[in-house]
Amino acid sequence: MILMQGKGVSRGVTGGPLYFFRRSSGEVTQRTVEDIEGEKARLEQAQAQSVEQLEALAEKYRAESGDESAVLFETHAMFVEDEDYVDCILSALEEEHCNVEYAVQQAGEQFAAMFAAMDDEYMQARAADIKDITRRILNNLMGVVEGGIDSEEPVILAADDLAPSETLQLDKSKILGFITQGGFGNSHTAILARTMGIPAICGLGDALKQDYEGRTAYIDGETGKVCLEPDEITLQSFREKLAKQEQMRELMQTMRGQEDVTLDGRHIKLYCNIGSPEDVSAVLSNDGQGIGLFRSEFLYLAASDYPTEEEQFQAYKSVAEAMGGKRVIIRTPDIGADKQVDYFHLTKEENPAMGLRAIRICLNRPEVFRTQLRALYRASAYGKVAIMFPMITSVWEVKECKRACKSVMAELTKEGIPFNPETEIGIMMETPASIFMARDLAKLVDFFSVGTNDLTQYTLACDRQCNDLGKFFDPHHPAILRALKMAADAAHAEGIWIGICGELGADLSLLPTFLAIGIDELSVSPASVLPLRAAIRKSIAQTCTLEKLEG
């Protein structure tokens, strides 16, 4: 038996085989090859694999979102065998006697550059498709596992840590839980685990070894304990926890369909945080009453170039339609800081959390902003879409955002494209500046949503990604709770509602404080909805106090 201790970042207990994430270096080098026919055969096999994968994706998205969502993958499948594209690869093989990986990469770069140089905006956008198709063929040539997991059975996924772009490619149906050497409570791996409702443990360090792959592991996401091949006594303890966990899940199912209301009649909205359209199923299965945070940056992280208006529109539309008229709050991209995107070509910064990120990028790059706003407003015709701007510090920023919104609405009206002109506009309250300016900001928007992770970081001067800070990074700090109260008072004074979309919203110990402060909405991971509902329905709002604000 081997015991390891880390930090639990997503609750739950599970057991299964340990599997290490397969990461591709992505590097292609040129080699001289004599057997050109052999390279051609490898190309044909990789093409066939790629077409099969793309056709499967087309069927999946057709079933989930309709024909329009499937068209992209069908188009990609056709281009894999495009005559000009394939001829370009074959010519490189025959003329340069190179390996097929290099020939495919060169052809992809040549065609992508050709499309990018065209005058037509639609054709320019196809450059990203070429890059995506080329990457898929290369992955199949190089044996990179689709979805990052080469296993027939579900596994506990281990890694040093996972980047945001890597979490997007995972085959979530094969993951029982996560354990990582590095990471922290607000890492993207932790956020994904909480969205999926599965346990996760980070900070295991060198104790987590690649040699352990294939061994049976049991993990407890509350205590942070990992046990490999447990003895009978330890195994029995895990089995008892698993049984209690299942009983609790069954009990929580009785909360489905119940109102989110306290014993004395105080209503509070329970919404969910998601990172992609695929997460909507978790919202619905956990009876979330809306989406309080759709992190749109994950569309950018998953792409090899700026996602087009049409690609974004289809994503937002699918979520709006799936939610059946319930509110869907879509945050404009929080790119920068820990979410770096290569094709944005951001300057390396000493302190990126304080630098060019989120709304600052959008206001500096109006065409990128305009493309997303057009997609968002178009999607507003298919459901109750709301738009939220992150990292706000000033009144002028909100005015500029609203000016951009008005410009886009005027364009869509002129083009005869339907949209909802009453689409709600909100802002993230996640900087001390936004708290101090809350009353002025509340006059300009329809709602506030407090991002407690960043608010804690900026208020306490603690890097949220630094594991060494320990108790110094304290979301329960009275300064954070007082900031919440200041924002709530300002919101209600101007007649708008206020929510929390940070991880703190799911903290049951703070629910009485949130009720006392006057928080109107909590947006949490889908798995947190039913436990929160149960706690709300046992609460008496009038008896809740502000004692935690006193320090």
Q: Please, are residues 458 and 428 in contact by the beta-carbon 8 Å criterion?
A: no
Active-site residue 188, yes or no? Answer: yes
The enclosing H or E element of 378 equals: helix 366-379
Distance between CA 148 and CA 261 in Å, rounded?
42
Distance between CA 370 and CA 411 in Å, rounded?
10
Counting Cα atoms < 13 Å in the Cβ hemisphere of 429 gives 28
Q: Which of 76, 98, 188, 362 is catalytic?
A: 188
**Which residues are CB-neighbours of 274 under 8 A, at least 6 positions away?**
195, 280, 282, 283, 291, 293, 294, 295, 319, 526
CA-based nearest residue to 328, from 296, 362, 365, 305: 296
Residue 178 pairs in a beta bridge with 157, 200
Q: Is 510 exposed, middle or buried (0-12, 13-18, 19+ CB in 10 A)?
A: buried
Q: Which of 98, 227, 362, 501 is catalytic?
A: 501
Q: Which amino acid is at 299?
A: L
Cα–Cα separations (whole angstroms), residue 383 to 61, 291, 378, 427, 449: 19, 12, 10, 20, 20
Active-site residue 76, yes or no? Answer: no
**Which residues are CB-neighbours of 411 under 8 A, at least 6 positions away?**
374
> Could you give the residue numbers annotated as active site?
188, 501
